[in-house]
Amino acid sequence: MGQGRNAEVSARRSFAGWFGCLALFGMVFLMAGCDKLPASFRAKPPPPVPLTLPAADGRAAQIIIGDGFRYIVNRQALEQAKGGVMIRITRATAPELTYSDGLTAKKVAEAYCAGFNRGLNPSAVGRFSTPASWVFEWGCS
């Protein structure tokens, strides 16, 4: 009688083991095909590769920003610039940039750098310059 009971317990354990393995396999299989995994399970995409910046020879590149104005961006290499490179922002359409347009000019410089998968150098110092332009030394990072 004791032997029959042991066989019954053994069969239950075996069934539970197989059922557990099957359930685990099924969950893994379903999760593998699921597109809506939690963010912690998804692999982060690699950051975009920084593109080569144009030569710092003063050529103009036009950028259109959300406020409806066109801006001219010049990237120039100057000996007196601390980082050796500076970005000059001027407005191509009226009204001209003023001293109070520093944040707008910074956004234009950031948009220019973002076009090359780069950010504006955190050390970039903006200053108002004549004629009606903003200059950021150090340029893109």
Q: How confident is the model at residue 123 (pLDDT cuts 50, 70, 90)?
A: confident
Tens-digit pLDDT profile for residues 69-90: 899 998 888 765 555 788 899 9
How confident is the prediction for the chain on average, in pLDDT?
77
How does 12-38 read in b/e, with b if 16+ C-beta sit within 10 Å? Answer: eeeeeeeeeeeeeeeeeeeeeeeeeee
pLDDT at position 26 is 60
Q: How confident is the model at residue 107 (pLDDT cuts 50, 70, 90)?
A: very high
pLDDT at position 48 is 83
pLDDT at position 134 is 93
Quick one: tokens of 21? Answer: 């393995």
Tens-digit pLDDT profile for residues 18-61: 556 556 666 655 555 556 666 666 777 888 888 888 877 778 88
- Report domain extents, the chain: 1-45, 57-137
The pTM score is 0.64
Whether the predicted pLDDT of 1 surpasses 60:
no
Sheet order of strands, 57-64 included = 57-64, 70-77, 85-91, 133-137, 125-129
Share of residues in the chain with pLDDT > 90 (%): 16
Whether the predicted pLDDT of 141 surpasses 80:
yes
Higher pLDDT, 64 or 126: 126
